Amino acid sequence: MKITKELLIKNDACREQVDLFCSVFPNGTRVTLATLQKARKNNLDIFWLEKVIPVSAWAKYNEVSDSALAKYNEVRDSAWAKYNEVRDPALAKYNEVSDSALVKAFS
């Protein structure tokens, strides 16, 4: 399937994204890894493409994207846990010092 200005307009893409798409892909484009990377680099909303995924491809798309999202969430959750391990004591110390400063400011 070729993505074109007309396809975007027909499927209610916002004017800003249509204009941006036309500046990045003036002749339209097919969906490939290279064009998706180019679109991301140029701040195009590639998730909008979900509106035009052929019905026959939805099951496979959901299977793959759900798996990728689950892996992303695992990594993200692990990173947040490590961040909180470092942040929590630092924030506690900051609050202790800040509270002391506030008490002195009002003494």
Q: Can you give the pLDDT of all 107 residues of the chain as single tens digits?
A: 899 999 999 999 999 999 999 999 999 999 999 999 999 999 999 988 988 999 999 999 999 999 999 999 999 999 999 999 999 999 999 999 999 999 999 99
What is the H or E stretch that residue 3 is in? strand 2-3
Q: What is the reported pLDDT for 1? A: 87
SS3 29: strand
Q: What is the reported pLDDT for 48? A: 87
How far is residue 104 from each of residues 3, 64, 84, measured CA to CA in Å?
Answer: 64, 58, 29
Q: What is the reported pLDDT for 5? A: 97
CB 19 within 8 A of CB 42: no
Cβ burial, residue 29 (10 Å; 0-12/13-18/19+): middle
Q: What is the reported pLDDT for 4? A: 96
Q: What is the reported pLDDT for 70? A: 96
Q: What is the reported pLDDT for 82? A: 96
Beta carbons within 10 angstroms of residue 15's beta carbon: 9
Q: What is the reported pLDDT for 21? A: 97
